[in-house]
Amino acid sequence: LLPGAPRGRREILVTSVGAARPEHVAILPFNTGLPLLVALAICAFVLLLLAGLYALAPLALIPVVGLVWMWARRSTVVNTRERVEVAPGLRLPVRPEREPTLTLSGMHCLLFADGVFFASLLFGLAFLSLVSPGPALPAWQPAFAVTAVGVAGMLALLALGNLLTGRALSRTEAGRPARACLAGSAGAHLVALVIVVVLALGQLPDPTRHAGDAVRAAIVAYAGLHVAVALLFSLFVLDEARRAALAPTDALRNGAAWQRYTLAVAGLSVLAIWAQGAGA
């Protein structure tokens, strides 16, 4: 879109909102059919749920993750500190250099809506525990030692992953390599996800015996899903670092925001389930 775009790609000038001051050059991805394929994969996942094939439904998420990964990968450009000449005497970077970026603002809006949904799950658990209109919530006695060690380990690993991602962000801002920190963050989130799955399968009661058990299982699944997405963020930015496309204002900062939210969700989920069990 810009005259004489040096890369032969669709480049557009991004300006400030108030003063219309040129800030950077955005390099847009080429047209692709990936969004349509993502929609079809999500449709298959929903149809499997509606058909009651719950065991097969998670398999439909595999192509969703793969297609979204490919879509996001095509949307990134190689990180460079060189500036593009867009007019005589005007050279601009190809990435935003000021905060907040549009993608980070979008991430914050997404997390706000996500938090509202999470609050509704916590309210449902509290309501069914305190003012249950039907039969009382059956008692639940998980193995204390196993659950306590697993929960403590999960929270510690999530905190470690957040710490390593923050360190990777600082190193990237300083122009230093951060692949070791990103690999450590990915490993921490992977082990945390395994712990969540093991605890959910081994310690949670049958979610069909009472609505309170179903809400409890939904909270654990919600937390596990966010840990999985945090892991994908770590793997994606690690791949960006490998391709020399990592920048502090793109997926790395968005991933750090998601991982902080995930740690908060995990902590609140543990407190809510513990309080519900103690009250029962």
Cβ burial 60-80 (10 Å sphere, 16+ → b, else e): bbebbeebbeeebeeebbebe
Same domain, 88 and 112: no
Same domain, 273 and 145: yes
Instruction: Say what the pLDDT of residue 182 is.
Output: 92
* Residue that terminates a domain, selected from 36, 63, 92: 92
Same domain, 121 and 72: no
Instruction: Say what the pLDDT of residue 93 is.
Output: 76
Residue 97 resides in a domain: no
Same domain, 107 and 169: yes
Residue 5 resides in a domain: no
Asked if residues 109 and 257 have their Cβ atoms less than 8 Å apart, the reply is no
Same domain, 45 and 110: no
The angle, 0 to 180 degrees and rounded to 10, between the axes of the packed helices 211-242 and 179-203 is 160
Let me know if 183 is exposed, middle or buried by CB neighbors in 10 A (0-12, 13-18, 19+).
middle
When divided into structural domains, the chain yields a total of 2
Same domain, 160 and 275: yes
CATH of the domain at 258: 1.20.120.80
Instruction: Say what the pLDDT of residue 19 is.
Output: 76
Same domain, 188 and 78: no
Same domain, 117 and 193: yes
Same domain, 112 and 180: yes
Instruction: Say what the pLDDT of residue 257 is.
Output: 92
Instruction: Say what the pLDDT of residue 123 is.
Output: 92
Instruction: Say what the pLDDT of residue 18 is.
Output: 73
Residue 4 resides in a domain: no
Q: What's the whole-number average pLDDT of the chain? A: 83
Residue 88 resides in a domain: yes
Identify the segments of the chain with pLDDT beneath 70. Answer: 1-9, 17, 29-30, 76-82, 95-101, 132-133, 137, 248-249, 278-280
Instruction: Say what the pLDDT of residue 234 is.
Output: 92
Residue 68 resides in a domain: yes
CA 19, 23, 29: angle at the middle one, nearest 5? 125
Pull the structure tokens for residue 56.
């097969």
Q: How far apart are the first and last CA of the chain?
A: 63
Whole-number Å distance between alpha carbons of 216 and 272: 9
**Residue 228 sits in which domain range?**
102-279
Concatenate the DSSP letters of all residues of 35-89 into one string.
HHHHHHHHHHHHHHHHTT-TTTHHHHHHHHHHHHHHHHHHT--------EEEETT
Comparing CA positions, the residue from 239, 259, 144 lying closest to residue 193 is 259
Question: What does pTM read for this prediction?
Answer: 0.81
